[in-house]
Amino acid sequence: MGFIYETHLHTRQASVCGVSRGADYVRRYLDAGFTGIMVTDHFFNSNTPLDRRQPWSEWVNGFCSGYEDARNEGEKRGLDVFFGWEETFDGDDYLVYGLDKAWLLEHPEMIRWTRKEQAREVRRSGGCVVHAHPFRQHSYIDAIHLAPHFVDAIEAANKGNHDAIYDAQALEYARILGLPAVAGSDIHNAKDLPGQAPFGIEVETKLASIADYAALILNRGTIKLRMPPGRCDFRRTGDKPLLLPVEIRDRNDRTPGPRRMTFNEAAEQLAFSAVEKKAG
Ligand SMILES: [Zn+2]
Ligand SMILES: [Zn+2]
């Protein structure tokens, strides 16, 4: 058996929707057999409870407090706790891994980055960008926004409040792009454990740091998904038309805007993006 990690977790300290404090998760993930967790609170343009008018260093301190709370408890009990974040654009969410608080402090301009700039700057520093639940369709989202050139992996399985069909579509998206697929619980409440088995990833080599996880993704290492069987079974979902319009950004970050389409139509366009992406 390999090493199991939670990749998508929110704390009350730094996510409006977070219910539990960082430290509250530690015992429960240990009991569930996990080696570690990655704390990914909602970033500056997302669901942050922190006053955006305060100085950047103070905002970053507040942002890291949920992670630090979990890490301190993890050090006491023997659970690895890693840092990441989840930034939002037009309802589309990106998990960023491999960078730290010092890096955030040096990049106050990041709150104005486009998806393209985010990908460029994060990769330049050795980090990676993972599109979280790309095909989620929900009342708070106006369209499915896809940026295939600006992501390094796809969160295929997400245990958040959405239907399994979106996960099947997300896994298919990863396959089309030839990118690694990952899984995470998008957990907001520690009390969801142990009743509901968390989603996550399993890797063969223990991660020494979050930089190891980013490197694993960027180098296309082996990552097993931990999720219920059949969760991402694409055949089961068939070819249903998508409820929301789809917007696909090109390599220059341009878009014709959201269009109504079936999943197969989207897949066709994404296959074109994949060819372009491989060409560099
Ligand atoms: Zn949330
Ligand atoms: Zn999330």
Mean pLDDT for the stretch of residues 166-188: 95
Collect residues with CB below 5 Å from ion ligand 1: 17
CA distance 223 to 207: 12
CA dihedral 168, 113, 107, 11 (to 10 degrees): -40
CA distance 18 to 6: 16
User: Which pLDDT does position 195 carry in this prediction?
Assistant: 74
Rounded to the nearest angstrom, the distance between the alpha carbon of 31 and the centre of ligand 1 is: 24
CATH number of the domain enclosing 89: 3.20.20.140
CA angle 55, 60, 66 (to 5 degrees): 140
User: Which pLDDT does position 149 carry in this prediction?
Assistant: 97
Ligand that comes closest to the CA of residue 6: 2
CA distance 156 to 233: 11
| The pTM of the whole model exceeds 0.95 | yes
Task: Give residue 262's domain range.
Answer: 3-279
User: Which pLDDT does position 237 carry in this prediction?
Assistant: 56
- Estimate the crossing angle of helix 263-279 against helix 164-177, to 10 degrees: 30
Structurally, how many domains does the chain consist of? 1
Rounded to the nearest angstrom, the distance between the alpha carbon of 30 and the centre of ligand 1 is: 23
pLDDT tens digits, one per residue of 181-226: 999 999 999 999 877 788 999 999 999 999 999 999 999 999 999 9
Rounded to the nearest angstrom, the distance between the alpha carbon of 279 and the centre of ligand 2 is: 32
CA distance 199 to 22: 18
Rounded to the nearest angstrom, the distance between the alpha carbon of 265 and the centre of ligand 1 is: 30
